[in-house]
């Protein structure tokens, strides 16, 4: 498998892992359970948490005008009192309940056909306490998807830089090996010259009287006139 294919597969796996970690996938829209008509209640704002206390048997009513085609309602209760709550989202008289009613974290996701007014109720069955209600108009996987793309791009850049650096380093090492093999070794050259000098000295005669060096074929020293 080529390096490019490995990098693409690794990037896809990174995006999938990021989505799985940072979002609540897979999410399911609950089927309509019952029709419920609500009073208008308190107005909510997108992405702004609403905090309040809720007593056993009481219901808080809210409404919100949604301009997007997506709505996610999140309810978080105080774990200290172990509140048993019920989150209900009503759209055009049709009620939607969370997947995990009565838990500390409830969530309802609704796809809207057109911008409309949505009604929300929070009912406390038992163990009154503190809760936080937040409405989002962006999918839970949008931010993780962006983070996954950014992470995969960073990993891709790092891998490309690493591959380029590795190739350059490998070429430079091979170049050094070639230059070392082709360059004359000064120590070897010195020893060769010494051996050559000794060999040449064997071919010459040294006068025992004056120390003059003459050719091996010479019989009389040309300086002192003595025989070798």
pLDDT, one tens digit per residue, over 138-148 is 766 666 677 77
DSSP letters, 89-108, are: EEETTEEEE-SSTTSSEEEE
Q: Is 122 helix (H, G, I), strand (E, B) or coil?
A: strand
| CA 34 – CA 99 distance, rounded (Å) | 15
Helix (H/G/I), strand (E/B), else coil: 52 = strand
d(CA 29, CA 97): 9
pLDDT at 36: 47
Q: For residues 25 and 116, is the Cβ–Cβ distance under 8 A? A: no
What does the pLDDT read at residue 132?
92
The maximal CA–CA distance of the chain, rounded, in angstroms, is 141
CA distance 145 to 91: 28
Distance between CA atoms of residues 24 and 140, nearest Å:
7
Residue 146 CB neighbours (<10 A)? 12
Specify the pLDDT at position 131.
92
Q: Domain segments of the chain: what residues?
A: 1-23+144-183, 27-140, 192-228
Structure token pair of residue 166: 């590795």
Tokens found for residue 108 = 């309802």
Query: 27-140, what's its fold?
Result: Jelly Rolls (2.60.120)
Residue range 177-203, pLDDT digits in tens: 665 555 555 555 556 666 666 666 556
Report the alpha-carbon distance of residue 13 to residue 109 in Å, rounded: 26
| Per-residue confidence (pLDDT) for residue 35, from 0 to 100 | 43
- State the 10-residue block means of pLDDT for the chain, 228 residues long: 65 68 45 48 87 90 83 84 84 80 83 80 88 83 71 81 77 64 54 62 68 70 73
* DSSP H helix total and E strand total for the chain: 3, 11
Position 50 scores a pLDDT of: 92
Place of tokens 């209900």: 88
pLDDT for position 1: 54
Taking each helix axis as running N to C, give the angle between helix 142-182 and helix 3-22, from 0 to 180 degrees, rounded to the nearest 10: 150
């Amino acid at each position: 498998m080529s390096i490019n294919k490995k990098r693409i597969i690794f990037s896809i796996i990174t995006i999938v892992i990021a989505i799985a970690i940072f979002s609540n996938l897979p999410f399911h829209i609950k089927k309509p359970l019952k029709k419920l008509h609500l009073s208008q209640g308190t107005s909510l704002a997108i992405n702004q948490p609403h905090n309040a206390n809720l007593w056993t048997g009481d219901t808080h009513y809210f409404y919100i005008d949604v301009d997007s085609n997506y709505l996610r309602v999140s309810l978080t209760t105080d774990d200290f009192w172990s509140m048993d709550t019920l989150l209900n989202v009503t759209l055009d008289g049709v009620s939607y309940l969370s997947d995990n009613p009565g838990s500390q974290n409830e969530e309802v996701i609704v796809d809207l056909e057109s911008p409309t007014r949505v009604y929300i109720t929070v009912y406390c069955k038992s163990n009154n306490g503190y809760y936080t209600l937040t409405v989002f108009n962006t999918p839970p996987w949008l931010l993780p998807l962006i983070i996954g793309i950014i992470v995969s791009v960073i990993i891709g850049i790092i891998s490309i830089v690493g591959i380029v650096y590795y190739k350059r380093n490998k070429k430079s090492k091979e170049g050094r090996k070639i230059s070392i093999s082709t360059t004359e070794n000064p120590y070897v050259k010195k020893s060769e010259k010494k051996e050559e000098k000794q060999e040449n000295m064997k071919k010459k005669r040294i006068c025992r009287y004056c120390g003059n060096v003459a050719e091996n074929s010479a019989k009389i020293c040309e300086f002192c006139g003595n025989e070798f």
